[in-house]
Amino acid sequence: DRSPRELMNSNYVVINPSEDFYPIHLGKKTAIQSSIVFNHNSSLLKHIRPTDFHIWQGRPIEGHKEESDFFRAIISAAGIPLLAEWSKGKKHLLVLGFNPNWLDSSGDTDWALSPAFPIFWTNLINYLVPESKTGQQKDFCYYQTGLPCQVNLGPPDKPQQAVTFRQPDGTVLTVQTPGDEFTFIPTQVGIHTITRGYKKKLLAVNLARAEMFNQVGQTRLLPTPPHSKKETGTVKKTSSLISYLVALGLILFLFTWWIEKSERG
């Protein structure tokens, strides 16, 4: 009985199905026939190395009647499966992968701790389940577990409406909180589902250390290119300085010309 780990490589592991993967609705009638290949310039892989993949998490594919053994890449980049379907008899699993051999500057071997992990996770969910179809607002969070994260679901549908937090391990927290914005302190890595009435937000939280990203606790839908703000500020500062020097030079020239003209007169 060969497992996905054996089918892929000894460096690959599958963490058994969890609620984290439920936003990707590929059940019952979904039996994907084609593969999607992304190159290095894909928006899905923006700011992410396409070699940074190993099997990270999976979920069963329900209602799948095919009983033959196969491993089929659904989405791949540079020949590496990012999302794949695995079948062994009546067992069917959808798997998402990352490469555990990648080392960051500190020697960390777990890519799930880096900011790129929730970015890719969110991009993947948005690609497979567009917001226009699900009505869900998808976000990711650059926070370490234990750090406060600001969440905004907008005004409640009715007074005293509770907010529900479903954590990656399946536990559910319910709190009463007024107003649009409230503070959530995640204690687990993975996808957190936050709902109030008909409003729902998905937050992918990682364990990234503060020095791994520019602004601690920044939440945004799309990552800002590294150093772009700094470069923009430098250009503006340089332009202002040049304008100032040109204006000063012109004033000195006119002042000198006026002095010389006065002495001649």
pLDDT tens-place string over residues 135-158: 444 555 555 667 777 777 777 777
Higher pLDDT, 125 or 25: 125
Task: Collapse the DSSP code of 155 into the 3-class scheme (helix H, G, I; strand E, B; otherwise coil) and give the result.
Answer: coil
User: In the chain, how long is the greatest CA-to-CA distance?
Assistant: 106
CA dist 63 and 27 (Å) reads 7
Contact by Cβ (8 Å): 192, 165: yes
pLDDT tens-place string over residues 222-241: 232 233 222 222 222 333 44
Higher pLDDT, 177 or 96: 177
Residue 20: exposure state from Cβ atoms within 10 A (0-12, 13-18, ≥19): buried
pLDDT-derived band of residue 124, with 50, 70 and 90 as boundaries? low
Res. 86: pLDDT tops 60: yes
Task: Collapse the DSSP code of 209 into the 3-class scheme (helix H, G, I; strand E, B; otherwise coil) and give the result.
Answer: coil
Task: Provide the token pair at 50.
Answer: 């396409």
pLDDT-derived band of residue 195, with 50, 70 and 90 as boundaries? confident
Cite the residue boundaries of each domain of the chain with CATH code 2.60.40: 114-221
What are residue 86's DSSP bridge partners?
71, 93
Domain 114-221 class in CATH: mainly beta
Exposure of 104 in the CB half-sphere (CA atoms within 13 A): 17
pLDDT tens-place string over residues 152-188: 777 777 777 888 888 877 888 888 777 777 777 777 7
Regarding pTM above 0.75, the answer is no
Candidates 194, 215, 212; CA nearest to 204 is 194
Task: Collapse the DSSP code of 125 into the 3-class scheme (helix H, G, I; strand E, B; otherwise coil) and give the result.
Answer: helix
Provide the 10 A C-beta neighbour count for residue 154.
13
